Amino acid sequence: MEEIKIGSHVRMAGKEMFLASVKEAESYGANVLMLYTGAPQNTRRKEIKDLNIEAGWAYAKQAGIREIVVHAPYIINLANTVKPETFELAVQFLEKEIRRTAAMRSHILVLHPGSALDAGAEAGIAQTVRGLNMVLDENEDEVFIALETMAGKGSEIGRTFEEIKAIYDGVNKKERLRVCFDTCHVNDAGYDLVHDYDGVFKHFDQVIGLDQIAVFHINDSLNPLGAHKDRHANIGQGTIGFETLHRLVHDPRFMEIPKILETPWLCAEGETKKTIPPYKEEIQQLLAK
């Protein structure tokens, strides 16, 4: 049987940078990982030469890690039609992140489709399309932009499979697009994975195509179906539950697709600060037959 590709979001910091990311992933028993190339809430970035990429990959090969996923910072909002400077920053920064993703030898850059603010979903989608075309028409790197399925909080676009399809429809280089399927977000958007697992994926296949899923975010949800909230829960501790997430991780259709945990860290007994990563135990639970 093929090996399930599973890991978590890891940090990239300190002197070791990418090497530290790989060591962290190895400590969780992961064979894939996801990271930001810098802080997600600002534009400060270390130079590519300072990310320790060669040493990280040398260690990764020994640790059985063959693939990594990069997540674009959430300050990138291509859907913003209200502030031209925010849109321009998003375009410039996405161009830079694609180059950094390629330099890190990743082929997947996960991107939130953006928030339309008061302009409405249609205008937001059109603006995201405009931004993606500006970036992808000028960029030849072998990096796929994986549009993340969103929970639909506030004015987020990408809350339905149809909204993501509308972005595909407007982008010139459609072959450069993929989807990041987030279980918590899909649940909070109103897709019932628990009671209609096959139906949800059948619908996705009809609208976009299962072959377009490049990465899964495996998260339980603190919220009821359709809450449009986006609050991740630890595996088996939320409204999706262990059984459904285990089923997805072992789904033979998705064996080749990286599955990334973004579940909350835990508190030590008597503490209020979250200092304990849950990933080693959660990966073991999900891999169990």
Residue numbering of the annotated binding site for Zn(2+):
71, 112, 148, 182, 185, 217, 230, 232, 262
What Rg value do the Cα atoms of the chain yield, rounded? 18
The torsion angles phi and psi of 160, rounded to 5 degrees, stand at -125, 155
Q: How far apart are the first and last CA of the chain?
A: 12
CB atoms within 10 A of CB 171: 21
| CB distance 261 to 220 below 8 Å | no
- Binding-site residue numbers are 71, 112, 148, 182, 185, 217, 230, 232, 262
